[in-house]
Structure 1
Amino acid sequence: MRILVVGAGATGGYFGGRLLQHGRDVTFLVRETRAAALARHGLVIHSATGDAHLPAPPTVLADDLHQPYDLILLSCKAYSLEQVMADIAPAVGPQTAILPLLNGMRQLDLLDARFGAQHVLGGQCVIAATLDAQGAVQHLNQSHSLTFGERDGRASERMQRITQAFADAGFDARPSANVLQDMWDKWVFLASLAGITCLMRGPVGDIVAAPGGRAAALALLEECRVVAERSGHAPGEAALQRARGVLTEPGSTLTASMLRDLQHGHAIEADHVIGDMLARAGHKHVERSLLAVVYAHLKVYEAGRARQSMA
């Protein structure tokens, strides 16, 4: 199976690197600067689950994509998706499967519109990773799962081939017959975590210790739960209990990656993670919505960042 991994950053570099490490046919679609760095230093992964150094991993630039791949693994940020869809178009053939690992659900609508729903799988990953100053992937804990599946739950032939390709590849590969629910469960939790930590500009432990902080975190989770329920994907009680526990853990230093991006002045996925959740709530539910307050807060940040970039 020929696999194209879009990006060799923290997420794409980790999962693509593990696949390459275990002998899979992987090529990374990257920009010129990242291609040059990988050619010089290789792809390096530092992890408690095992380090890896992959000299000169196969890379390709968008202008050089001319042949279709069997599987395209999308690990880009949501704000890059429009450009990525244009870049990968030559690599999408009649039998190509696209597996997006973005947060939220809007990516499915955009990919369906561009390539057709028959090409697009459901997927998500759970990993805490970043690139260090030398461009190496730093895996920050031991979680490294990748969930994937046909959106109608079928055990299709391509699902069997992908499952075989991901098996024993150095991460937790989780084929799912209910991948849309898996994606909604993660989105509900992530929107709550990103929303409350960005709004309060602090970690979970500080938020729940502040007057009204715990109630605000749980109120935001409940708003997101209601959106999922109205969309036909209400989280189960076990998923909600896990989310409540994480969002209210005393002393927790947990923050969302969106907060870290915000604190460093980077682009954020405000529209995709928070805005789309709010849009699915419907206009009549926006009044007195904490989700709406979070979204306004993030859009103010984006406006200020845009002005600074033009200065």
Structure 2
Amino acid sequence: MKKIGVLTSGGDSPGMNAAIRAVVRKAIYHSVEIYGIKNGFQGLIDGNIKKMDIGSVGDIIQRGGTILRSARCEEFKTDGGQNQGIEQMKKHGIEGLIVIGGDGSFRGAQKLTEKGYPCIGVPGTIDNDIAGTDFTIGFDTALNTVIEAIDNIRDTASSHERTFIIEVMGRDAGDLALWAGLADGAESILIPEKKDELNDIIERLKRGQERGKKHSIIILAEGVGSAFEYAEKIKETADLETRVTVLGHIQRGGSPTASDRVLASRLGAQAVDMLLSGKAGRIAGIQNNQLVDHDIAEILAEKHTIDMDMYQLSKELSI
């Protein structure tokens, strides 16, 4: 290959810029022209494509978000949208594409590969919900953002002797809630993969009160339901006052941690190597600190699972 492209798609995550940097510089190292596609698959359809050089990615490794911007694109789910994207790549002579994003982005990459344009996926999502990789780019940074917020909220919870329900991101995956809850000693952790009964949560709160505990922290992944609804249920069922904090999009921003910068650099460079070696329709990943790659179709068909040993440990330590 002489020319390849790179785009970011779906929700942004800290470390995407580090991955872009790695892709661009690794391609140039191998004397391959690299083209940045702005605004995801929408930019591919619109032809928002520009050649990049070493200077294009200077001073971005520490920045959150993505310099290529990101957008969701319903049109790219259609044959017409995909064919428009292919025509734009042909126009610029792009022979392969690296897609940084989550499962929705990988479905687009899969379709392009099926139509003869080789694509490699790089997992970038704070939810850590991609199978075949231990970690996704952005998860560690988001986790540390959540932990810092919980630490701050705990100060207030302690001062006012309150129970706080903190809602974090995680529509279908509970990794953020589980890891943050374990790291911060939460009394209850509610995740989509393992829904606790309300009575269990209330029982745990009451046990704490009986031994003199004055405040409690409950972490809830958004996929379980609304934190405000749970607060109302706890009030109605047990007459316990609670306060709610929804962290929202603050979890996606911020300078990436060292862990995310290193992971993004490794996966971005790996994706270039995969394309140049003739691989297509695969996802770069890391397992047991070793770089791996898997077939996109297999990964999309496989459901991400949480570490049940960690979940059980959180239960045992919150008695």
TM-score by length of 1: 0.34
Question: Which structure is larger by alpha-carbon Rg, 1 or 2?
Answer: 2
Higher RCO (CA-CA < 8 Å; seq separation 6+)? 2
TM-score, length basis structure 2: 0.33
